[in-house]
Structure 1
């Protein structure tokens, strides 16, 4: 929790810094009284310039901006122009439109006209704006009228400017440095995602990488940073920015769906989040294309269809927080700034309030904060999942050990040795010794099963072989054991292990009336790796030899050295104790 509070303080500090940086730049302040449109008018039908001069209903305030009409007129009055610094260039936010017509109206009624299509606009290499040259402006010019046909964006109109110096259309270098910093903040999480995915094959890592990529495209296009690298048409820049933002928004919903812990969302909320993500990518994404047929409604539609997404994300986070989700805490910190900045951008896009272009920095920095904090969340989840997986692997190893180890002695059991038998034969374990304790039933009958179990454990310790990698001991069940040996003098080593059994039992199990001996049947097979022998065949042959040893008086070894394996002789006999 202290780490989370520190992260929250860091994010709030970054937002405050963003608000400070996002204040209107000096160039904006200098242009506001002289180079913004004094009045504007939306026309639902074709109007000539003379009609706009005589019968137009101009709105000379920052209200009633519309982009859902065939054309919008802007009026720049010359009252504040400096006579030796007359406007020569028009510029505004990069957005789609059909054409822009300029009318320089002199005091004597002379009108100089220039008509330019969307493709004639020139993107500025340092900012999300485009420029167009004005018709000649003279000292006798009374006003400049600008007719924007089929505009697709309110900011295209509200942020329109005219300037006497083309360099004033470029962003200050501090803004470019800020955008470059945000891009750097996005590159690092992308690299982290690649690294995390190599270790943690989780879907949410891939979704986050795609989300970061979409946000990088948005920063490059909406911030105008891409124009420093490559020249793209206005139509491409105008579509890529909102489209990438819609895709990034939809991916964030899918990321939330896959990133939250199990139980952090109800089944209904999971469905709503899933459909909300796809809806955001499809519907606002379609509006972002700004087709000619959708011009009357795509600007408003783009922002309005974002409202369900904001509501769904907020509701999903609140539900996850109420359910105690740790991941939701990170997401709340990451997405609070971007939700606030998105709402501000939405209100500005709908024309409900007017703000300088530098307010876009709020959204850019919020995007940077979001991906960095979510990268921290992914790292936190990575370590949590790794811990869970390590615990699961440890538990699986324990279960595997329980299934392949004898619970009393800790030796491998029959299931384990049968599964590995061919592999062990190939590794050179060519001596198979079957061990059976003599008269073991009497120990259980006279001294109880607890002492009998102690004797079995002592027997297992005697034949285990210590750290000898050429000896493997197995408990088959009851008082019966198998010892596999490889290397030189395997028969002598097997006999030494058999003789160690009575001494070990007498040492650790006091109170027995007689020493506990063992009988052993041993099979030694030359070139064992050349034969396809099963465990059951070895066992049957060794079992026959072991009973020969018992029939000969017990406490001894019977062995057979085979060069060609043959089935054991069939003999019906009772099992000796």
Structure 2
């Protein structure tokens, strides 16, 4: 290394061209001035080792070798630092030999500095780290919102947005000086973590678009391609992080170029969704525009050999802000829209269910309703059931017509409804059911039956004779179901009709001294 460093013919200075084709690449820094450097700093990427030489005016050489695993992280975001051998006023050159460099940026961005803090100052000083910390805090808020959204609305796009936000948060931490301040992990650990997290970011962004754009507002082929793009991004990043030296001279460029199809599919998907009128795509288009620009810059500078590679860090951070603001607004709006649609559908379903459980003629609930409500009504204290049948209703229809018969049924329904302790239902034809609660359930039922002639006579004119009804009443014993209770009351109704109609047969289980009914006492069993 010393012989190569001293061979002036081997050096190519001032051309601005960097190549990683060789297994060992040399960089030379000429030292002048009063401020002496103490550190080498450069962009993190996979490498094997760094050799550092300080060459004095008289030819004295001091050497320091640092394996990749021992390299420290710099406060300058995304950089590693290596301590130089002693640099004195007699030192004229610092030569750096990098074994197996895997990315041109490691060569292009290398520089020497007296302090690591000065490196931080060169990218915006500590205030910049405070801004990044604030941005990291902003990224935490969508995670909290998404947790609340997902509890109310189990939609996959909420989870994918959380994964995207989390990956962006992790990217900010590992690509900036925040990780050094908080954890200080080795530089190579942050290097492979950055690569792996980048794949997670691309994959979660593709899956978020796949699930976030409304159904029918993206071409089916594009929607099917997005999960494959996500899988491809994960594979690329995992492979590149685990095996960075497989095709080292071209691997970084090939890795960058391999994301081009993913970027194209994503851009075409959003454009297609916009063309179809997707509101979700509008938020994505605004929120992801800086990120797409970052991707294009990295793609072009990473593939074109004569361009210096750049990762557009500042634009990436701006893209994070846009992503946080606009995609979170999009998720919130989509959440409200879906919830409104589901609430509308639920209300419509409940309305249809109520209609299916309501008798259209009388407005009373039907048998379907009583069977669905029975267990709850029993819990609420309803422990007696009465079956009521209008006497000689067929004759009313035959003599007066069906329209008059319908009016009679409506009047009977009005007569049976009386307060919170009585629930009236129409089972069909001229048959009605009452559910009752209270110690005087049989009395309440009898009062409702006896109210029928007067209310019908007052409501329906021209009948010529009173309209009466027969009734069977029974109590609830034990855990009997509705069918058992109804069959027993129906048998009592049959007994009342057989005994001459216009009367009641009751089988209420007495829990206290029986109470006399207002009339027809002799007809009550």
SS in 1 for 2:438: coil
Aligned length: 507
Q: Following the alignment from structure 2 to structure 1, what is the Cα–Cα distance between the partners of residues 8 and 484?
A: 112
Partner residue in 2 for 1:543: 490
Partner residue in 2 for 1:554: 501
Q: Cα RMSD over matched residues?
A: 2.7
Partner residue in 1 for 2:522: none
Q: Following the alignment from structure 1 to structure 2, what is the Cα–Cα distance between the partners of residues 294 and 237?
A: 21
Partner residue in 1 for 2:273: 320
Can you give the 5+ residue segments of structure 1 that lack an aligned partner in the other structure? 1-46, 565-577
Per-residue displacement from partner, 1:321-360 (whole Å, max 9, x unpaired)? 1121111111111111111122223344446544888x41
Alignment of structure 1 residues 198-237 onto 2, 5 Å: 198-237=151-190
Distance 1:144 1:538, change over 3 A: closer
Shift of the alpha carbon at 1:154?
A: 2.0
SS in 1 for 2:249: coil
Per-residue displacement from partner, 1:109-166 (whole Å, max 9, x unpaired)? 5544333222342222453322222234445544333221111222221111112344
Q: Following the alignment from structure 1 to structure 2, what is the Cα–Cα distance between the partners of residues 418 and 109?
A: 102
Partner residue in 1 for 2:455: 504
Given that 1:128 and 1:225 are in contact with CA atoms closer than 8 Å, whether structure 2 keeps it comes out as no
Deviates more, 1:164-173 or 1:533-542: 533-542
Partner residue in 1 for 2:85: 135
Shift of the alpha carbon at 1:406?
A: 2.2
Shift of the alpha carbon at 1:237?
A: 0.9
Select the residue among 379, 383, 390 that pairs with 1:437. Answer: 390
SS in 2 for 1:262: coil
Per-residue displacement from partner, 1:488-547 (whole Å, max 9, x unpaired)? 222221121112223333333344333322222223x4xx343x5454444344334334
SS in 2 for 1:91: strand
Partner residue in 1 for 2:14: 60
Shift of the alpha carbon at 1:220?
A: 0.5
Shift of the alpha carbon at 1:372?
A: 2.9
Per-residue displacement from partner, 1:53-111 (whole Å, max 9, x unpaired)? 2432615233x333354232223234xx21x2233321112222111223344555554
> Are 1:90 and 2:40 an aligned pair?
yes
Q: Following the alignment from structure 1 to structure 2, what is the Cα–Cα distance between the partners of residues 120 and 428?
A: 77
Q: Following the alignment from structure 2 to structure 1, what is the Cα–Cα distance between the partners of residues 432 and 25?
A: 96
> Are 1:160 and 2:116 an aligned pair?
no
SS in 2 for 1:255: helix
Given that 1:520 and 1:549 are in contact with CA atoms closer than 8 Å, whether structure 2 keeps it comes out as yes
Q: Following the alignment from structure 1 to structure 2, what is the Cα–Cα distance between the partners of residues 68 and 469?
A: 90
Partner residue in 1 for 2:193: 240
Can you give the 5+ residue segments of structure 2 that lack an aligned partner in the other structure? 512-525
Select the residue among 275, 297, 316 that pairs with 1:344. Answer: 297
Given that 1:183 and 1:368 are in contact with CA atoms closer than 8 Å, whether structure 2 keeps it comes out as no
Distance 1:285 1:67, change over 3 A: farther
SS in 2 for 1:558: strand
Distance 1:133 1:491, change over 3 A: closer
Select the residue among 465, 471, 480 that pairs with 2:431. Answer: 480
Distance 1:103 1:515, change over 3 A: same
Shift of the alpha carbon at 1:270?
A: 1.7
Partner residue in 2 for 1:114: 64
Shift of the alpha carbon at 1:397?
A: 1.1
Q: Following the alignment from structure 1 to structure 2, what is the Cα–Cα distance between the partners of residues 356 and 426?
A: 72
Given that 2:274 and 2:282 are in contact with CA atoms closer than 8 Å, whether structure 1 keeps it comes out as yes
Given that 2:46 and 2:244 are in contact with CA atoms closer than 8 Å, whether structure 1 keeps it comes out as no
Shift of the alpha carbon at 1:411?
A: 2.1
Deviates more, 1:265-274 or 1:135-144: 135-144
Shift of the alpha carbon at 1:380?
A: 0.7
Alignment of structure 1 residues 448-527 onto 2, 5 Å: 448-465=401-418, 468-523=419-474, 525=475
Shift of the alpha carbon at 1:314?
A: 0.5
Q: Following the alignment from structure 2 to structure 1, what is the Cα–Cα distance between the partners of residues 106 and 459?
A: 93
Q: TM-score under structure 1 normalisation?
A: 0.81
Select the residue among 317, 323, 326 that pairs with 1:364. Answer: 317
Alignment of structure 1 residues 193-342 onto 2, 5 Å: 193-342=146-295
Q: Following the alignment from structure 1 to structure 2, what is the Cα–Cα distance between the partners of residues 381 and 482?
A: 47
Deviates more, 1:230-239 or 1:410-419: 410-419
Select the residue among 356, 366, 370 that pairs with 1:417. Answer: 370
Given that 2:104 and 2:309 are in contact with CA atoms closer than 8 Å, whether structure 1 keeps it comes out as no
Distance 1:272 1:352, change over 3 A: farther
Partner residue in 1 for 2:518: none
Shift of the alpha carbon at 1:480?
A: 0.5
SS in 1 for 2:420: coil
Q: Following the alignment from structure 1 to structure 2, what is the Cα–Cα distance between the partners of residues 77 and 536?
A: 100
Q: Following the alignment from structure 2 to structure 1, what is the Cα–Cα distance between the partners of residues 244 and 455?
A: 91
Distance 1:374 1:166, change over 3 A: closer
Q: Following the alignment from structure 1 to structure 2, what is the Cα–Cα distance between the partners of residues 264 and 52?
A: 66
Q: Following the alignment from structure 2 to structure 1, what is the Cα–Cα distance between the partners of residues 417 and 21?
A: 88
Q: Following the alignment from structure 1 to structure 2, what is the Cα–Cα distance between the partners of residues 138 and 537?
A: 104
Q: Following the alignment from structure 1 to structure 2, what is the Cα–Cα distance between the partners of residues 434 and 207?
A: 58
